[in-house]
Structure 1
Amino acid sequence: MQHLQPQELAAWLADADRPRPVLLDVREGWEVAHCALPGIVHIPMNEIPSRQQELDPDTPTVVICHHGVRSYQVATFLERNGFERMINLTGGVAGWADQVDPGFPRY
């Protein structure tokens, strides 16, 4: 598993020459309703085992949560199930607000 800092993800998303990763947000629905990065795929952490077939194991996937703990657990689970290109967003959306977008809603 790779780990990505919020600034690195922002640079990746801004690079038109680089294929966009899947942004897998594993937070609860109320959290996503409060704030979310544009273009996410939302699958709450507890639904990952039953919905992992909705994801492509060969596509780079950045897993996102509030602080990076749940996303790390989900990325680890998916790696154990054959997903080879998992990336954990270190610091989660809180890190995004701290390092990339100070106007991003916090909770």
Structure 2
Amino acid sequence: MDLEITVDQLKQQLSSATPPLLLDVREQWEFNTASIAGSTLMPMNEVPSRAHQELDEEQHILVLCHHGARSLSVAAWLRQQGFDKAQSVAGGINAWSRSIDPTVPLY
């Protein structure tokens, strides 16, 4: 399983019968500004203390941030922790807004 997926792949997976967990690792103000419906907010700095309590190691987890750098770091860390199905969304919510859903604000 690749460490990164595209926003087109994200769109397909979110509309599947068994959608993955969309984990948004941005800050609260960013999430309030622009987010994807159904996503779960867990700011990057909280992931180490919350991941093992709140996430399922067996679940497919897609990690999202603004442009893809934080999510790539978090996805790699999650994999090191045994979350083998963690993937980062390349380009982040910025790419989602530009390519998939222009109603999601750019910031």
Both structures adopt the same fold (TM-score exceeding 0.5): yes
* TM-superposed deviation, 1:103: 2.2
User: What is the 5 A alignment of 1:54-69?
Assistant: 54-69=54-69
Aligned length: 105
Q: Deviations over 1:44-86 (max 9, x none)?
A: 0000110012100110000000000000000111111111101
C-alpha distance in 2 between matches for 1:95 and 1:50: 28
Q: What amino acid sits opposite 2:32 in the alignment?
A: A
Equivalent residue for 1:2? 3
C-alpha distance in 1 between matches for 2:33 and 2:81: 30
Question: If the length of structure 2 is used for normalisation, what is the TM-score?
Answer: 0.93
Q: What amino acid sits opposite 2:41 in the alignment?
A: H
C-alpha distance in 2 between matches for 1:93 and 1:72: 13
Equivalent residue for 1:39? 38
Spell out structure 1 runs of 4+ moving beyond 2 A.
none
Question: If the length of structure 1 is used for normalisation, what is the TM-score?
Answer: 0.93
Q: Secondary structure at the match of 1:70?
A: helix
C-alpha distance in 2 between matches for 1:82 and 1:20: 20
* TM-superposed deviation, 1:8: 1.4
Q: What amino acid sits opposite 2:104 in the alignment?
A: F
Q: Secondary structure at the match of 1:83?
A: coil
Q: Secondary structure at the match of 2:71?
A: helix
Residues 1:82 and 2:70 are matched in the alignment = no
Q: What amino acid sits opposite 2:5 in the alignment?
A: L
Q: What amino acid sits opposite 1:76 in the alignment?
A: A
C-alpha distance in 1 between matches for 2:45 and 2:10: 25
Equivalent residue for 2:47? 48
Gaps of 5+ in 1: none
Q: Secondary structure at the match of 2:32?
A: helix
C-alpha distance in 1 between matches for 2:90 and 2:18: 20
Identity level (%): 39
